[in-house]
Amino acid sequence: MNIDLIYRVLLEEMGSHQLIKEAPMRNYTSFKAGGKAALLVIPHNIVQLQYTMKVIAKEKVPYFIMGNGTNLLVRDGGYPGVIVKIGSTLSHIRVTGNMIEAEAGALLKDVADKALEMGQTGFEFASGIPGSIGGAAFMNAGAYDGEMKKVVEKVQVLSQDGSRVYSLTAEEMEYGYRKSILMERNEIVLSVTLRLAAGDRDQIALKMEDLNARRREKQPLNYPSAGSFFKRPPGNYAGTLIQTSGLKGTSVGGAMVSELHAGFIVNTGGATASDITALMKLVQDRVFEDSGIRLEPEIRIIGEE
């Protein structure tokens, strides 16, 4: 695979600071762990993003789209293709009445703050989720009483080869629990339009504060992590099953099942991706032995061992 060739071709359209060879992904993910990306590309606008996708398609290299890296682990052997990061350079937020259109790289917190500023309710649930709105629309992120499915009006999508921009309605996104149609298509979220409702600013602020206080109390936010590690199994909670199996505080190397919230695997310092995946397997096996339930990771794990 010709990463050097791709680097040279992309360099014609963007600055060298936007193209990072052998990028240490621990610096770009909330787990603060993991291997390198052969090439990390950070487009500064949609034209550069389209160009990047065209080059990737032409050269037929594997690629992965990331947002804020808060639900992502790159294995220690690294990702052998191109990781394209859609971040703060693609994060414009525009409000029209009760609709908010945000570019994919906008942080959920910033979108929620904008909704508060405009007196729009319905997005309070997302204010404490540390991801981008593109990642959230892709994953159908949710918390407490809310999920993206309930507020998305439409999602603007770029095809894999960068040639086509089109929109999907919330229904066409085929949302399920932490699931959307884009997971099968491997396409790219460019922007997300939310439909909110007029509300009272004080009430919105109170709700955001309340939800964030609950997070601070219940979640190990002082350690690097990727949030809840496992999906919620039907009719149960991953954290409860893990706690019942007596696994709180269990560790492998620098990875530990949080003492505060058993659904979180945290990096207590210097965890490798293989510490984290070894602990994941240990938890999966023990919970399966005890309950017959197989926990599946919610986070995305990519790259080579």
Ligand X SMILES: Cc1cc2nc3c(=O)[nH]c(=O)nc-3n(C[C@H](O)[C@H](O)[C@H](O)COP(=O)(O)OP(=O)(O)OC[C@H]3O[C@@H](n4cnc5c(N)ncnc54)[C@H](O)[C@@H]3O)c2cc1C
Q: Which residues are catalytic?
A: 178, 228, 298
Stretch 259-288: interaction string toward ligand X, x if CB under 6 A? ------------------------------
Site string for ligand X, 115-144 (x = CB under 6 A): --------------xxxx-xxx-xx-xxx-
Q: Which of residues 219-258 bind ligand X (CB under 6 A)?
A: 219, 221, 225-227
**28-63 burial string, b = 16+ CB within 10 Å, else e?**
bbbbbbbbbbbbbbbbeebebbbbbbebbeebebeb
41 counts as binding ligand X under rule CB under 6 A: no
What DSSP state is assigned to residue 297?
A: B
Residue nearer to ligand X on the CB measure, 147 or 288:
147
φ/ψ bin of 37: left (φ > 0), alpha (ψ from -120 to 50), beta (otherwise): beta
295 near ligand X, judged by CB under 6 A:
no
Residue placing its CB nearer to ligand X in the complex, 81 or 135: 135
The whole-angstrom separation of Cα 152 and Cα 73 is 27
By C-beta, is 7 or 138 nearer to ligand X? 138
User: CB 220 → ligand X: shortest distance, Å?
Assistant: 8
Is 52 a binder of ligand X (CB under 6 A)? no
Binding mask 7-36 for ligand X (x = CB under 6 A): -----------------------x------
Residue 8: CB atoms within 10 Å = 11
Tell me the closest approach of the beta carbon of residue 2 to ligand X, in angstroms: 23
CB of 221 to ligand X, least distance (A): 6
Q: Token digits for 280?
A: 């994941």
Closer residue to ligand X (CB): 24 or 130:
130
At 224, phi and psi to the nearest 5? -65, 140
In this structure, what are the phi and psi dihedrals at residue 125, rounded to the nearest 5 degrees? Answer: -55, -30
Considering the complex, what minimum distance in angstroms separates the CB of residue 131 from ligand X? 2
Question: Are 240 and 258 a contacting pair, CB within 8 Å?
Answer: no
Give the other-Cβ count within 10 Å of 12's Cβ.
8
Site for ligand X in 82-101 (CB under 6 A): 86
- CB-CB contact of 135 with 71 (8 Å): yes
Q: How many residues bind ligand X (CB under 6 A)?
A: 33
| Under rule CB under 6 A, residue 49 binds ligand X | no
> CB neighbours of 136 closer than 8 A, spacing ≥ 6?
108, 126, 129, 148, 192
According to CB under 6 A, which residues from 158 to 217 bind ligand X?
182, 188-189
Give the H or E element holding residue 181. none
Cβ at position 104, least distance to ligand X in Å: 4
CB 88 to ligand X: min, Å: 11
Residue 152 near ligand X by CB under 6 A: no
Which one, 119 or 260, has the nearer CB to ligand X?
260
- The two tokens of residue 249 are 């505080």
What is the DSSP-derived secondary structure letter of residue 253?
T
Report the C-alpha gap between 258 and 198 in whole angstroms.
Answer: 39
CA distance 258 to 239: 10
Q: Which of 66, 211, 238, 256 binds ligand X (CB under 6 A)?
A: 66
User: Token pair of 75, please?
Assistant: 């294995």
Binding site for ligand X (CB under 6 A): 30, 64-72, 86, 104, 129-132, 134-136, 138-139, 141-143, 182, 188-189, 219, 221, 225-227, 300
